[in-house]
Chain A
């Protein structure tokens, strides 16, 4: 079992819609969770981090964490064409960041 798994996508949403990205992890001891955005040919850019169960909102982005279910998600509200990218879920495991394979999101204008 992979340490971090994401829905593979690609995910296509119309402009203005909500994009929902999911991530599960295997290590129950994980305490830190991150979402990065990566445009094609570029390096990952931090969007959000979350440590506690529940929701965390930052602008149009909301991260949700459920440690009991070992599940973390990212919602993108009012999706814009500039949100088209690959979104990487990352989980701190044994003092190293483990990444999911990423979900590619395309926002249709």
Chain B
């Protein structure tokens, strides 16, 4: 069974730019979660999508947004990039429902200069 996949693996952007990260969940999983892991800050919950709807959101500004497509893949968009957005962005998927076990993808490492 293929795991969660993410693209791209690495990305370099400059302040003010916009970025889109992509995630494909494990087959059969309908929930997709996004996390940010910045240096020294640990894993922070960003967004949860299930059946195409945003179900929950972490304490991040509105310039972090996303969507989930009918095939359950997901995009995370970050507008007006700031230096502190430099982090590893992790996508996880689970069967339907937030109480289910989440499995992580390899992540996208974003560097904002």
Interface residues of A (CB under 8 A from B): 31-32, 34, 36, 42-46, 49, 88, 90, 92, 94-102
Contact = CB atoms under 8 A, between A and B. Distances in A.
Main secondary structure of the interface of B (DSSP, over half): strand
A99 B56 CA distance: 16
A40 to B, nearest CB: 11
A44 B104 contact: yes
Contacts, number: 48
B98 interface: yes
Given A95-B55, A97-B33, A45 B42 contact: no
A45 B90 CA distance: 12
Contact of B101 (A43, A49, A88, A100): A49
Given A94-B56, A97-B33, A34 B45 contact: no
9 contacts: A43-B104, A44-B43, A44-B90, A46-B102, A49-B101, A90-B43, A95-B48, A97-B102, A99-B42
A88 B43 contact: yes
Contacts of B106: 42-43
Main secondary structure of the interface of A (DSSP, over half): strand
A54 B88 CA distance: 34
A102 B107 contact: no
Contact of B99 (A44, A45, A92): A92
A46 B101 contact: yes
A104 B28 CA distance: 33
B103 interface: yes
Contacts of B43: 44, 88, 90, 99
